[in-house]
Amino acid sequence: MSGHDSKYFSTTKKGEIPELKEELNSQYKDKRKDAVKKVIAAMTVGKDVSSLFTDVVNCMQTENLELKKLVYLYLINYAKSQPDLAILAVNTFVKDSQDPNPLIRALAVRTMGCIRVDKITEYLCDPLQRCLKDDDPYVRKTAAICVAKLYNINAELVDDRGFLEALRDLISDNNPMVVANAVAALAEIQENSTRPIFEITSQTLSKLLTALNECTEWGQVFILDALSKYKAADAREAENIVERVTPRLQHANCAVVLSAVKMILLQMELITSTDVVRNLCKKMAPPLVTLLSAEPEIQYVALRNINLIVQKRPTILAHEIKVFFCKYNDPIYVKMEKLEIMIKLASDRNIDQVLLEFKEYATEVDVDFVRKAVRAIGRCAIKLERAAERCISVLLELIKIKVNYVVQEAIIVIKDIFRRYPNTYESIIATLCESLDTLDEPEAKASMIWIIGEYAERIDNADELLESFLETFPEEPPQVQLQLLTATVKLFLKKPTEGPQQMIQVVLNNATVETDNPDLRDRAYIYWRLLSTDPESAKDVVLAEKPVISDDSNQLDPSLLDELLANIATLSSVYHKPPDAFVTHVKTIQKIEEEDFPEGSEGGYSESPSHAADASPPPTTASSAQYAAAQAVPAAPAPVPDLLDLMGMDNNNNAIVSADQPATPAGPPLPVLLPASTGQGLQISAQLVRRDGQIFYSMLFENNSQILLDGFMIQFNKNTFGLAAGGPLQVPPLQPRTSASTLLPMVLFQNISPGPPNTLLQVAVKNNQQPVWYFNDSNVSLLVFFTEEGRMERSAFLETWKSLPDSNEVSIDLPGIVINSVDTTLERLAASNMFFIAKRKHANQEVLYLSAQIPQGIPFLIELTAVIGIPGLKCAIKTPGPEMAPLFFEALERLLRI
């Protein structure tokens, strides 16, 4: 549709469907074409025009290419909901696949591949085989991509009909775009397959390198990505490959440049000649620098990739640090990334100009950027020992400016510098103490208190300084309280005079009697017992030599860094996470036997529509007796659903399940969130559930009104976990006194709300006949977010426990919980992805250790203590996110009370 066709979106007529039906069957070609445009416009804005399916399909028999494209677009959208009617179009598809016009042949085979209906798939094979060997390269390249789509629908059929061999043959095609599309299709099929499908050999290598010079920019990206997975036989072959790829560094498209950089970096691992490596590093620098002159969004992607590259090969951009200096009009996200790279490239040779830049940044107006700049100075001091004194001089100059947040950040980083270089720069403590009155941030206060306690013997009035903090001890945050407690104990051990003695009494009393914080209270009791029983041992513990902190600018693990470098120019290199952390690959499986799903498990979707067998929608009614009988008779192996569709990746999906024919084994009824009395007859029951590693919103819609309800849509308010719908809400039109259930796929971290964490989910649902309904779901359990990757080895569990600070441990007593059987309890916990690590006996108590993990890799280390058969369970958890502890305790208590 052209730019002049906007008028088709502005109709306000009533009775539009009958009018369109009449126009679609008009004897005049122009009128039929206009009618199809109106249908497409209505479909685009979300109106249901599926009732016109037969009339639109009748318009396929035309020589007008524009009209044919519009009809095909309609077919792609509605074929899945009308699979029986879609068969009507097959003859035209087959006929069009032999049309003299290559554009129509390609359009026909492309459309057939996009229609994810199994009944049509069998008719696609013959036209597809012809098109793979078509004389026109445009048809061949379209057919190549169609094979990948067909594999996603029916992998077995692709194998049986020899399409994979045909794709491999296309790699030798004389048209470079056909080669590129064949490579793209094979790569996609390989991702969805467990067996080797596409392996580059020395024979195909030269063909791909030849095609690389002639195909389009996206074809070059596909080929470069494929070549990056090829392991050269020796250093000489690696050099030859790199030499052929190096010209791609000059390409205007940044995706081609980054793919070429990835390819070269991976092959450089095999090159032994230092001269060749040095020359390659010189050649890669200018294209990377050029990327930083693009628009900010591309700059950001380039900077995230460069961040990884300089961790592996810092020499590539060692002489280009000036290009990372921040401009006044750079967006904040670009400035932050430039700062990170400048820290990584900072060296003794360029530290002076880097410090000048950082000092300049520390006077800007953006507070977050200023803080990051001050911290960058401290990180440079920790990284470069010979430059540490110059870094401290700059920090002292910034402190003299007397800007509150600058002073506080400076104190925080100076504390780290003291840890890195003990007994070296203590002469500046007097200057720091002058700023005590301005400190109001917990981290800055805690850092200053640590400095006073650590060097109490060198500060004449250390007791007075600490006493000024003690006046507000009960109101201070836990971080400051813990530091005050430890600093006061250090002061007492270093200066056991009357003043510190009185202070330690006050602090210990406050920390044990006046506080509810278990971490603070436990540490205070330990200090109290140490001081009262063996002061010398207390000195050995509290005043022990501390491990020197190290530079963290290259904080990525080497193996993770290598994996990320292998994924340069993808989202993985932007997120700095491996693909498995945020992408779930669904392997194509044809059939699953019944025994693969134990009775009562939540893994089967046998009642939901499938892409592998009969794609017709399930019946809308079925008696409970019929359902019970069907369950009693051994059923044929259930086809696997199209999980990609369930995740909302196909806008034409149909995840609708009849309310009387549940998609999951029978369980407790869903909680009613919108009662019929509130929803004008519409009742909604829903619950967040986890199935096969995915989170779904299981919903039941009941229409108790006297009117038909359709056009259901859903939206979620901002929430702690950023839960949002992963696809459209698929609910069929509800006749009066009928119901329907559905599983809505959910995604995380889309719309995160600030503030303390909670599991409240605020939902809005609308339909075409009623106002928007708002309701709260307070039944969400934190356990739904526990991932299947939460299992840990014992050694890893112990290391993680030790690495987390004591302030991250939270405990609670659950007096109403009774553990009657350890094995039963462990099975129940394992069902919620809490994995058993070890157990031990303590007196008559059983102590269990378990591990769990929520998304973004945050571990939960769990300790449960109970006497078998006696009410009362003590639960302690240690996690990097202790603010989640109350949600966990609430969910655990709810689980174990069942």
Residue 77, H or E segment: helix 65-78
The owner of tokens 């399940």 is 657
The answer to whether the predicted template modeling score (pTM) of the entire model surpasses 0.85 is no
SS (HEC) of 308-332: HHHHHCHHHCCCCHHHHCCCCCCCH
Of 754, 650, 753, 662, residue with least CA distance to 700: 662
Beta-carbon neighbour count of residue 542 at 10 Å?
A: 18
* Tokens encoding 380: 């440079």
pLDDT for 609 equals 35
* Chain centroid to CA 14: 45
Instruction: For CA atoms 444, 447, 453, 455, give the dihedral sign.
Output: negative
Exposed / middle / buried, residue 780 (Cβ in 10 Å: 0-12, 13-18, 19+): buried
Per-residue pLDDT at 876:
92
pLDDT value of residue 466: 86
Please give the Cα distance from 2 to 69 (Å, whole number): 13
**Average pLDDT along the chain, 898 residues, taken 10 residues at a time:** 56 64 80 84 82 80 80 81 74 83 88 77 83 90 90 84 88 90 90 81 85 87 88 87 89 90 89 88 90 91 92 87 90 92 91 92 90 92 90 90 88 89 84 81 90 86 84 87 91 82 86 86 89 84 82 76 89 89 56 33 33 35 34 36 32 36 56 90 93 90 91 90 88 91 89 84 91 89 89 88 88 87 89 90 87 88 90 90 87 83
The values of phi and psi at residue 839, to 5°, are -145, 155
Report d(CA 208, CA 287) in Å as an integer: 23
Tokens 């299981």 sit on residue: 698
Residue ranges in 117-273 assigned as alpha helix (H) = 118-132, 137-153, 155-160, 163-170, 176-191, 202-212, 217-227, 235-245, 254-268
Closest CA to 643 of 609, 689, 620: 609
| CA 878/CA 859 separation, integer angstroms | 8
Contact 187, 224 (CB under 8 A): no
The pLDDT value given to residue 597: 29
Q: Is the dihedral of CA 20, 104, 81, 643 positive or negative?
A: negative
Number of Cβ within a 10 Å radius of residue 231: 11
**Angstrom distances, CA of residue 438 to CA of 397, 411, 435:** 17, 11, 6
pLDDT of 742 reads 92
CB count, 10 Å around CB of 18?
9
CA distances from 590 to 438, 609, 849 (A): 67, 14, 39
Q: Taking the CA of residue 543 as centre, how many other CA atoms within 13 Å lie in the half-sphere pointing to its CB?
A: 20
Q: Is 459 helix (H, G, I), strand (E, B) or coil?
A: coil
Q: Bridge partners of 776? A: 762
Taking each helix axis from N to C terminus, what angle separates 388-400 and 404-420, rounded to the nearest 10 degrees? 160
Residue 238 near residue 209, CB atoms below 8 Å:
no
